[in-house]
Amino acid sequence: MIISLNPGGDQSSFAEDRERFERGDFSSAQKPPYLTSAYRFAIKMRDLFGEHVELLRETVAFPVSFFRSEGWSSIPRNVKNQMKQFCFPIVREIIQTMPPRRLLVIGLNTYEKLESILGGFTDKQVALLREGEKTSTLIKESKWGAVPVLATVHLTGFRISRHEWEEMKQKFDLWLSEGQF
């Protein structure tokens, strides 16, 4: 299961959805967007999964906030609180109804929100640090019950060097290979 913060995008993303919704088409995508889309985030996801890219076809992916926005930080606090009250119980229900074998969380902010939604994680550890002048976390690992959780910085909203990206991919590949698919 892949969990992100919210559907982002630029103005063209909003227009595409709006036109479809105005036609009364609220159906989900026929093919997983991470496999078919040419937007930057989808390309990064395919690259992250590498030789396991076909897992994206079988993976449930959704955001903790169902509302599209250009940036979480730009949403007024009272609106964010209303969004949380609406979305977070549904997110908990989805996860409890379809228990994941593994949880990949995109964005450390998303990780914190998901931890509060699910009532906490255990065995928390920093799995990969950015070294240098400013030390920061790139990947965290933990567990939700027996479910392994891996959280990354946002793949397109965080500046990641080529070397760090390769390290992240290796860590992710190791995390995938440690368990059953």
pLDDT, tens only, 17-55? 677 778 888 777 666 778 888 888 889 999 999 999 989
Beta pairing class for 122-130 and 136-144: antiparallel
pTM above 0.75, yes or no: yes
Residue whose tokens read 């997110």: 91
Q: Cα–Cα distance between 104 and 39 in angstroms, integer?
A: 20
Three-point CA angle 108, 45, 32, nearest 5°: 115
Question: Residues 118, 105: contact at Cβ < 8 Å?
Answer: no
- Number of structural domains (the chain) is 1
For residue 69 the two structure tokens come to 């926005």
Lowest mean pLDDT among 10-14, 42-46, 75-79, 142-146: 10-14
Find the domain containing 153 and state its range. 2-177
Residues with Cβ < 8 Å from 173, sequence gap 6 or more?
50, 51, 52
Question: Residues 150, 121: contact at Cβ < 8 Å?
Answer: no
At residue 163, the pLDDT reads: 93
Query: pLDDT tens digit string along 120-167?
Result: 999 999 999 887 767 799 999 999 999 999 999 999 888 899 999 999
| β-bridge partners, 74 | none
Beta pairing class for 147-152 and 103-106: parallel
Question: Residues 40, 12: contact at Cβ < 8 Å?
Answer: no
Quickly count: other Cβ atoms within 10 Å of residue 86's Cβ: 12
Residue whose tokens read 């976390």: 137
Three-point CA angle 59, 87, 159, nearest 5°: 60
CATH number at residue 136: 3.40.470
Residue whose tokens read 């920061």: 136
Look up residue 28 and give its amino acid. Answer: S
Residue 119 carries which DSSP code? Answer: T
